[in-house]
Each structure stands twice: as C-alpha cells, then as structure tokens.
Amino acid sequence: MTEKLNLSGPADLLATIAHLLGRTPTESFVILTAQGGALGATVRVDAPAHIEPMNYAQTLTSYATNDEEATASYVVVYSDEDLDNYAYAAHVAALVNELATARMPVRNVWLVTSTHWADFGTDDHNSLDEIRDSNANATLVYNGSAQDVDVYNPALLGTWALSVQAPAGSEEDRAAACTAWAAALDSTETPDTQTMRELAGAFQHKMIRDYLFCETINTQNGNFADVMLGKFNGRPDWERVDRAEALAFELMKAVPSGQRAPMLTLMGWLEWLKGRGTQADRYLKLAASDVEDFRLAVLLRELIGRGYIADVARDSTTSYRRRII
Amino acid sequence: MATGYIRTEADQPAPDTSPAEEVAELLLLTAGEPTGPVNISWEQEPGNI
C-alpha cells in the first residue's frame, strides 16, 4: 500500500504510536517529531524515576534531535502514576522548553493512562475506545500492522537437550563457524539438527561468538568497535537480521538451559540495533539469568540502560522499519 | 571514520575479555547516567497530520 495515513486528530495519532513502536508503551514518555504535516521519529523512554526534570528533558531532547529535519514535536506521557497531582508536570514543562529551544516546539502534550486519555494537565477523561476505534487504527490493522510477536517463546524451548561442546577456538574453527552461520542466514531452509548443534556449540566460544555477531551484518567494515555500536557502511539487510533472530531461537532449542545465553545475547544486541531498547533489555536480562552474570549480556544491558542508541538506529535511512502501511 | 580507543594502564581489560566485551566496557567508561532503555522508530510512510 502506498497511500498516506491521514491522522485527523489526537486519537489517530495516539493509535499510531503503538504501531510505530510495536506495542503500547506503559510508564513512558514518548516524543514524536514532525516536519510540516509529516511525522519523523518516535522516541520512547522510561518515565523519570529519580531524574531531575532539566536533566531528563535535555536527555530526551538529545534523542529527538536525531531527526535533523524536525520542526515540531508531540509529547505523550503514558502513566498511571499519581494522576490526582499531575505527576511529571515539572518534567513535562522542562521538556516543552527544551524541545522549543531545539527548534521543534511542542504542538500538544497528552496523557494516556490505563483507563483514559486527556490533554496533559486537564481533568478530561476521554475513552481509550476512541483510540482503538480511530480511523488510523482501523487502517493500520486492515493493512496488516499488529503488535510485535516475540521470536522468543519459552514454551517452545523444550525441557531437555544434550549439551553442546564449544570448539577449541582455532582459526579453522572460527572460519568454519562463520561459513556455516553465513550459509544458514543466506538459506531459506532451517539447518539440520547436526548443523544446529554445531552452530550452537560455536556460539559457546566467546571469541568465535563475537565473529558470528559480526557475520550477521553484511554491511560492516570489520572493525569490532564499529560493528558492536551499529556503525555500518550502509543499511543492513534487515531481513537477514530478522532471520538471525529466528535462527538464534532455533539454536536455543538445540541446547539445554545454561547454554542459551550467547543466542539470547545476540537477539538482544540485534533488537538494540533495530532501535528497540526495551526488547533488547528483556533478552539480555534473560541471557544473564540463563548463565549468571553472562559478561557480554551484562555489559550491553548496562550500556542500553544508560540510554545508548545504536548508530544505525539514529539514522532514518539506515534504521529498521516496521511495516505499518 | 572507524571508531578507535586508547586504553590507559588503569583500565586494561581482563585477559579473557572478548573483543565485543572490550568495546562495551570502554563505552561504559564514558556513558551517561542510567535512564532506562530507549526505543526509537522512524515513520515509514509519513502520515498526514
């Protein structure tokens, strides 16, 4: 479908957010950037816990300025926190000021709770049905947009599998693992059980694992720092990335718990490259629980928890795109 | 331009640190305050507002 989505009011715009982000946020601040009558970036961040309003506002504005074309913005607060006292009012005021200073003045601020939505700072109680029944939601659902479905489904993992052996880590081991991983990513077939177990074994060796991470992205320049940060030569083949996540989950089925952390970490890193910090954090947390304090998962989780955005996700021309219309 | 880092003697990595772990460790040395994960997406087909 090539026609544009017409957003004729707040309910339409609020309905669109869940489709852009893949799920409806909770306890979050969302900024939508705009240029004229077109939307740009959608940025979601956790609602502030103990962050001073000005610091919070400056941090969020720095994220929004990734859209260099933006000339305006919208702010949406998703929260059920202390509604009688307009929780986050100071943070919203600071954010409105900062976004204006950044030359993307805020057109509207809305509050969305689990029971209603309203213009922020008012006592309105508009029904959430208005969002669900909006033209935008109907159009997006009709065109196939839906909430994200997790690749990771613990019910499908099974309860028993033989452990795999990590290779010794020679240059030949690394080359063989990279070749097998690339072949699996380039194929539309699911690898046989033996190949799955060999690949799952290769992921257990941390040096080979890192090379397999790099091999997943075929627009990278070979520099480990650049690859890990999502600084690539061009737009990644995102279908290959999606396939890598699906394959990682298949590899998890081939091994017992205690050997699934490397694949979960890959999935978390790939979600982060896609700009999905929340989902990345979830996978990395699972990795660090599958193998206690799994080092790469712990480090990436801490980095993501400090608001670090992958370079590839900052740029509209290279970023992952959910197909919503 | 590729990303490059210089380690001081005080922050040398552990001997078994992998390249990916080393990159993450280095970034954390200068990372900001904890704010929670960020989600960012870009409109695929700009809507008319």
Whether B30 contacts chain A with CB within 8 A: no
Measured CA to CA, the distance from residue B35 to residue B37 in angstroms comes to 7
When pLDDT is cut at 50, 70 and 90, the band that residue A221 belongs to is confident
Residues in chain A within 8 Å Cβ distance of B13 = none
Whether A305 contacts chain B with CB within 8 A: yes
The answer to whether the CB of A111 falls within 8 A of the CB of A77 is yes
> What 8-state DSSP symbol labels residue A306?
T
Measured CA to CA, the distance from residue A247 to residue A256 in angstroms comes to 16
Share of chain A above pLDDT 90, in %: 78
Q: How many CB pairs under 8 A join A and B?
A: 173
Residue A6: the pLDDT is: 81
Residues in chain B within 8 Å Cβ distance of A210 = 18-20
ipTM of the prediction: 0.93
Measured CA to CA, the distance from residue A304 to residue A300 in angstroms comes to 6
Residue A314 CB contacts under 8 Å (≥ 6 apart), including other chains: A66, B40
Q: Best residue in A203, A300, A312, A317 to probe B by mutation, most B CBs within 10 Å?
A: A300
Query: Does the pLDDT at position B46 exceed 80?
Result: no
SS3 A230: coil
* Domains of chain A and CATH, by start: 10-142 (3.40.140), 154-314 (no CATH)
Residue A150: the pLDDT is: 79
Whether A226 contacts chain B with CB within 8 A: yes
Residue A54 CB contacts under 8 Å (≥ 6 apart), including other chains: A94, A98
The answer to whether the CB of A190 falls within 8 A of the CB of A155 is no
Residue A325: the pLDDT is: 58
Residue A1: the pLDDT is: 44
DSSP codes, A232-262? -SS---HHHHHHHHHHHHHHHHTS-TTS-HH
Q: Supply the mean pLDDT for chain A.
A: 93
Residue A153: the pLDDT is: 85
Whether B32 contacts chain A with CB within 8 A: yes
Mean pLDDT of all residues in B19-38: 92
Whether B6 contacts chain A with CB within 8 A: no
Least confident of A117-126, A189-198, A316-325, B9-18: B9-18
Query: Does the pLDDT at position B1 exceed 60?
Result: no
